[in-house]
């Protein structure tokens, strides 16, 4: 059944076997006058494909950025493999090495690709394996080529981002994430910046990842796609999670009015 979220959220995950989690996460950008994210709790189990759905400004991206520590929460906890990574506001500073460790295992794909324009596609994808995972130059290049092959872009390895289409850029961005062999990939509206024709090529890649049981959290407005691949759907509005449940239940029988509006347009 779908769970309508109110105040009842777990204080701690205990030994839940979850991969990644946010507990009572809140984020304010103006000294706690307003909250971009308010008391959001989300846990992700291995193999789950969680689609975050909500209107613009509902806090989806902020939640995603908190999950991989690109954004420091104002309150709450981030948990990775049941271990507390950060607990705000008490523990304001997390050791940099711990942050980097989490980020190498929690990959992120951005709405606007964010490829490094001074590097080729190969250079973009090999950067992490070479300088973070400390692979040799040859091994990093091989891993990069394998990643580019997996997204169908092996022959574009020598091209710079400026010479690629939007769909190709996003596929390179996915390859860059895959090259780090992450345990979970966060997608922040991966197709929003693409023309309609290019959306399909990116969704195909994500669907392939879903079939291979990659754990993913996807912020998306593509409801048909979410219906196709999501195992779980979370709806958000005004910085809060309003409903969270299995995809089949959420798409057929969402409990809250707002979820109905978001998922069915009524």
Partner 1 sequence: MSTGYILKYVLQGAPTTLEIAAGAWVLGTVLGLLLALVRQPGGILGFSAASVVTVLRCVPPLVLLYVVFFGLAADGVAIPAVPAAAAALGLVEASFTAEYFRAGFLTVQSGQYDAAHSIGLSRFSAFRLVIVPQAFIFAVPPLLNSFVALLKLATIASAVGAPELLYRGQLVYEQSGQITTVVVVIILIYLLVTIPLTKAISMLEAKLQLAMR
Give me 128's structure tokens.
Answer: 């992490």
What is the Cα–Cα distance from 75 to 6, expressed in whole angstroms?
Answer: 17
- Judged by DSSP in three states, 159 sits in coil
Of residues 134 and 196, the one with the C-beta less far from partner 1: 134
The 8-class DSSP code of residue 200 comes to: H
Cite the DSSP H helix spans in 26-95. Answer: 60-67
Q: Using the rule CB under 8 A, which residue among 26, 59, 128, 190 binds partner 1? A: 128
What is the Cα–Cα distance from 17 to 222, expressed in whole angstroms?
Answer: 29
Which region, judged by CB under 8 A, interacts with partner 1, from 10-18, 39-47, 97-105, 219-227? 97-105
What is the Cα–Cα distance from 81 to 46, expressed in whole angstroms?
Answer: 10
What is the Cα–Cα distance from 44 to 37, expressed in whole angstroms?
Answer: 18
**121 interacts with partner 1 by CB under 8 A:** no
Q: Using the rule CB under 8 A, which residue among 4, 82, 87, 114 binds partner 1? A: 114
Of residues 50 and 179, the one with the C-beta less far from partner 1: 179
Which region, judged by CB under 8 A, interacts with partner 1, from 77-85, 115-123, 189-197, 252-260? 115-123
**29 interacts with partner 1 by CB under 8 A:** no
Which region, judged by CB under 8 A, interacts with partner 1, from 26-34, 84-92, 112-120, 136-144? 112-120
**108 interacts with partner 1 by CB under 8 A:** yes
- In order of 73, 76, 182, 263, 265, the CA distances from 85 in angstroms are 12, 11, 17, 33, 38
Least distance to partner 1 from the beta carbon of 78, Å? 15
Of residues 101 and 261, the one with the C-beta less far from partner 1: 101
Least distance to partner 1 from the beta carbon of 100, Å? 5
Q: Using the rule CB under 8 A, which residue among 1, 7, 92, 96 binds partner 1? A: 96
**176 interacts with partner 1 by CB under 8 A:** yes
Contact 173, 205 (CB under 8 A): no
**68 interacts with partner 1 by CB under 8 A:** yes
Closest CA to 175 of 140, 218, 199: 140
């Amino acid at each position: 059944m779908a769970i309508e979220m109110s105040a009842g959220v777990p204080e701690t995950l205990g030994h839940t076997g979850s991969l990644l989690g946010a507990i009572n996460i809140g984020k304010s950008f103006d000294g706690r006058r307003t909250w971009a994210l308010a008391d959001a709790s989300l846990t992700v189990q291995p193999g789950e494909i969680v689609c975050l759905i909500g209107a613009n400004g509902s806090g989806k991206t902020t939640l995603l950025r908190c999950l991989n520590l690109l954004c420091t929460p104002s309150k709450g906890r981030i948990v990775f493999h049941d271990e507390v990574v950060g607990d705000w506001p008490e523990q304001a500073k997390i050791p940099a090495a711990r942050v980097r460790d989490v980020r190498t295992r929690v990959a992120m794909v951005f709405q606007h690709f964010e490829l490094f324009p001074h590097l080729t596609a190969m250079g973009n994808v090999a950067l992490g394996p070479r300088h973070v995972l400390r692979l040799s130059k040859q091994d990093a290049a091989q891993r990069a080529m394998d990643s580019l092959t997996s997204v169908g872009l092996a022959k574009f390895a020598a091209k710079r981002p400026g010479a690629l289409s939007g769909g190709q850029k996003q596929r390179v961005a996915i390859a860059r994430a895959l090259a780090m062999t992450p345990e979970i990939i966060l997608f922040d509206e991966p197709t929003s910046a693409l023309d309609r024709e290019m959306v399909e090529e990116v969704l195909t890649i994500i669907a392939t990842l879903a079939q291979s049981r990659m754990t993913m959290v996807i912020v998306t407005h593509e409801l048909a796609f979410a219906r196709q691949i999501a195992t779980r759907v979370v709806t958000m509005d005004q910085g809060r999670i309003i409903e969270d449940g299995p995809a089949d239940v959420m798409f057929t029988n969402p409990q809250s009015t707002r979820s109905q509006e978001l998922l069915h347009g009524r």
